[in-house]
A and B are shown apart, each in its own frame.
Chain A
Amino acid sequence: MEQTFDNNLLDEALTEAIGSEEQKPDFEKWKQQHPEAVEMLISRIDGRSSAPTLPLYIGRKIMKSPITKLAVAAAIIIAVLICINQFYGDHSNVFAQVLEQIEKAETITWKVTYYLQVTSKDGKRTWIETETRHQAYKAPGLYRDVHSDENGQITYWTITDAINMKELSVDPEEKRATVRELAFARSPSGPFNWQKEEMQKRSLEWVGTAETETGEANIFRASFRDKTSNEDWSYDFWIDVKTKQLVAVQVPGTDIYDPEKDPARMNPPHKDWYYKRPICHIQHDIIYNAVLDESLFSLKPPEGYTVKVEGRPHVTEKEMVDYLGILADFNNKTFPDQLFPFIFTSDRINKVWDKAKEERTAAEQKYIETMDHYMMAGLNKMPTGHFIDDHTEEKSFRYIGKGVKLGDKERIVCWYKFKGSNSYRVVYGDLSISNVAPEDLPLPVEP
């Protein structure tokens, strides 16, 4: 029979040989070091459902130039912002409970699915691409926006502090982070502001019910004529029957675009695409007051990442004046009728975007490139708007360029007063600038 070994002595020897002092787990540090993994886990908080079978709005801008998905995404956001501001109308106070739940929510998570109509280089084929983002809000004023590729892998995310106007964007693949000051941000008071306004101000029609992951929802539609495009437009609001919570929004409504019925949805994608047109978006899986970790909204770059710091974007006087010249050149060498609320109709812009690059005039191409440039520069307004906000005395900007020919040295296009200045800066049709006393302006100015 085998003699048993000295168990205690061997235990001691083994402990001495391979034992280790216990390393205290540091989950906070681990989170910092593995932001992508954290993102993946957090993305599950929105539920595991796929997008419901309804879509949402994006904007009406057509992008013809082969710009990146980022550019498409930025265009989508800006288009939404531009259009939203023009869609005020009739009052509707039916959904007080819905609005209250949005306003009182400490956190909200949701997904946004964008539908892009893609056209091949030869212009003969179209197909539909979708892109879903995970978004979250935490009061006060903090937003998360997570972007993924077609395989669900996170490509980048942003954290926005809408109160302090700061943003962190993170590229996990490249291990790069950018901290920037913002010229504009989403509402500090929380998401779904335009939806709230639309529900309050428009006449809403009940159009049916639909099943969701959490139950049944009533669908209410706001239908109207879009002043910018002069086309019919609509929003579909999904309200949970039991909780009275807004659970989805589709823009435009299914009366305008139904992704389930679009013939192009069955077309196979092709690698050579020429342009992508956002045609619909859906905000869905909206969840209120989910428990969200503070670190999800941290503006601190992940450890080990290359960090770039960017200041707030600005538009200089020269850039603003150059922009006016580009507008005039585009507009048959005549300064446009107005700068606000919009310069050209979307229909007119879309026609230019629809053209192939080689078919555009030099002025058209310059205009498109300028729009793309400012769209990607982190500005939510066109250069004139930002220039006015950042550099001029309130209400000092006056545009009288309607009908002025580009190159006209005598006629005034606009004037404004720099902050702290006593005189006015006057821009002429030839884009020259001079300082002018208030009494020498052709029209009276406010004291």
Chain B
Amino acid sequence: MNLNSETQLVEAAQNGNLESFGVLYERYHSAMIALAYSVLGNRDLADDAAQETFAVACQKIGTLRRSDKFAFWLAGICRNTARNVLRSKGKDAALTAQSRVEDIEMGAERRDVIRQAVWNLSSAERELIVLRYYNGFSQAQISNVMDISPQAVNGRLVRAKRKIAKYLKRNGFTGVNYGTDI
């Protein structure tokens, strides 16, 4: 990623250049959906939250002091926005979660159990996993959004995946080795 280019884009957007903001929108659109999904667990709501994230960013971009931290700043807005959505959709969100549990109890698809394993992680770990697997973001992209080094991204990913593997093992995923033989 060309950092200089991004700081220039951010600074241009801060000066009211809509086109520059559009480039940033396209650059981080998917990442924000993924991030919101890690909070909401619902793709439609995640999409709404991501759109709202950019609306807030558009209005607050003048408050961003470090243009090289745009992605991290945007991610912060996204987390808050998604949490607000979660609060406002509390009942629905709870129902969705309940449905997941019921699906598991009914022996439904394995992906539901895997999702449950992901949602069993801490929010930071869940963010990381979702960013990595929602649209296959690279470690470099994730490090930019989370403002941590690519090495740290890698280390945290490994730890989070171990936790997922443990969860899967506890929940009976022993017939096929998903890394549950720890």
Contacts and interface: CB of A to CB of B under 8 A. Distances in A.
Interface residues of B, number: 50
Contacts of B59: 36-37, 40-41
Contacts of A291: 17, 19
B111 A37 contact: no
Interface in A294-309: 295-296
Contact of A3 (B33, B61, B182): B182
Contacts of A11: 133
Given A15-B133, A23-B30, A30-B51, A9 B177 contact: yes
A45 B17 contact: yes
Interface in B56-86: 56, 58-59, 61-62
B51 A33 contact: yes
Contact of B58 (A38, A47, A290): A38
B58 A45 contact: no
B45 to A, nearest CB: 13
A40 B56 CA distance: 10
A207 interface: no
A296 B111 CA distance: 45
Contact of A5 (B17, B25, B114, B178): B178
Interface in A312-335: none
B25 A25 contact: yes
A25 B29 contact: yes
A348 B25 CA distance: 57
B162 interface: yes
A14 B25 contact: no
A36 B56 CA distance: 10
B166 to A, nearest CB: 9
A382 B16 CA distance: 39
A16 interface: yes
A20 B134 CA distance: 5
Given A38-B58, A45-B16, A14 B114 contact: yes
Contact of B13 (A20, A23, A41, A296): A41
B19 A293 contact: yes
Nearest to B14: A44
A304 to B, nearest CB: 12
Contacts of B161: 5, 7, 10, 14
Nearest to A18: B133
B26 A25 contact: yes
Contacts of A15: 133, 136
Given A10-B178, A42-B16, A5 B162 contact: yes
A174 interface: no
A22 interface: yes
B164 A41 contact: no
A14 B164 contact: yes
B89 interface: no
Contacts of A7: 161, 179
B115 A17 contact: yes
B165 to A, nearest CB: 4
B92 interface: no
Contacts of B152: none
B165 A16 contact: no
A363 to B, nearest CB: 50
B145 interface: no
B111 A16 contact: yes
B180 interface: yes
B119 to A, nearest CB: 10
Nearest to A22: B135
B16 to A, nearest CB: 3
Contacts of A23: 29-30, 33, 47
Contacts of A9: 176-179
B114 A17 contact: yes
Contacts of B176: 9
A37 B16 contact: no
Contacts of A25: 25-26, 29-30
B77 to A, nearest CB: 12
Contacts of B61: 41, 44
Interface of B: 13-19, 21-22, 25-26, 29-30, 33-34, 37, 43, 47, 51, 54-56, 58-59, 61-62, 110-112, 114-115, 118, 129-130, 132-136, 161-162, 164-165, 176-182
19 contacts: A5-B179, A5-B180, A5-B181, A5-B182, A6-B179, A10-B161, A10-B165, A17-B114, A20-B43, A23-B30, A23-B33, A34-B51, A34-B58, A36-B59, A38-B18, A42-B16, A45-B17, A48-B62, A291-B17
